[in-house]
Amino acid sequence: MKSILFIATLLLTAGVNAAPACPALLNFSLTDIHGKTRSLCTYAGKVVLVVNTTSQCGYTGQYKGLQALSDQYGPRGLVVLGLPANDFGGQEPGSNVTIKNFCEVGYQVNFPLFAKTGVTAANANPLHEALAKTTGERPRWNFHKYLIDRSGTRVLSFASHVDPQSKDMVQALESLLKAKPGAAKLAQTGE
């Protein structure tokens, strides 16, 4: 009898400490900037900001704002994911090593960066494909932003020109950080 109670206690304790289930929008693996495969399920339960980045664009200065958001809101559950892409204007021609060094030295980026990838319909990585299907919006240029809620069911879309620290972005971010997972299904803003 004692062994059955012990096993039941272990099972209940494991359920309490279990990580959040992986939502479909994060149920992908991508290669990070260091060449390692990373499961995006790691970010389940967090507010996730996905940005297609470049090193040679008029919006490249947004790295500073993205890092500021990561620093300010990371402790509250935000994770910024940078996905470099060379899809628009050939503005990310460098290797992953070059991109990593550019981001770390020029903008002190320490949020997760992934290997150079595609974001357009012709060659979108699986995450961007899912985000485009969910919101009905694909990136039209570099630094398009998708903000995913903690449950992975609500996605806000922000056009490239929207500064990461703009009033609209910060209000949306604050709202998603306060909301409980699963509170809403889908919303869009942007383009």
Cβ partners under 8 Å of residue 155, min gap 6 = 25, 131, 134, 135, 146, 147, 148, 149, 186, 187, 188
pLDDT digits (tens, 9 = 90+) for 77-102: 999 999 999 999 999 999 999 999 99
Domain count, the chain: 1
Phi, psi dihedral angles at 136 (to 5 degrees): 75, 10
Q: What is the pTM of this model?
A: 0.85
pLDDT averaged over every residue in the chain: 88
Containing domain of residue 137, as a range? 21-178
Supply the DSSP symbol for 21: P
In this prediction, residue 13 carries a pLDDT of 47
Cβ partners under 8 Å of residue 131, min gap 6 = 25, 50, 146, 148, 155, 157
In this prediction, residue 179 carries a pLDDT of 82
* 167 within some domain: yes
Task: Give the CATH number of the domain where residue 122 resides.
Answer: 3.40.30.10
pLDDT digits (tens, 9 = 90+) for 28-72: 999 999 999 999 999 999 999 999 999 999 999 999 999 999 999
* 152 within some domain: yes
* 32 within some domain: yes
* 184 within some domain: no
Burial of 16 (0-12, 13-18, 19+ CB in 10 A): exposed
131 pLDDT higher than 60:
yes
Q: In DSSP terms, which residues pair with 146 in a beta bridge?
A: 50, 157
Active site residues: 57
Supply the DSSP symbol for 67: H
* 9 within some domain: no
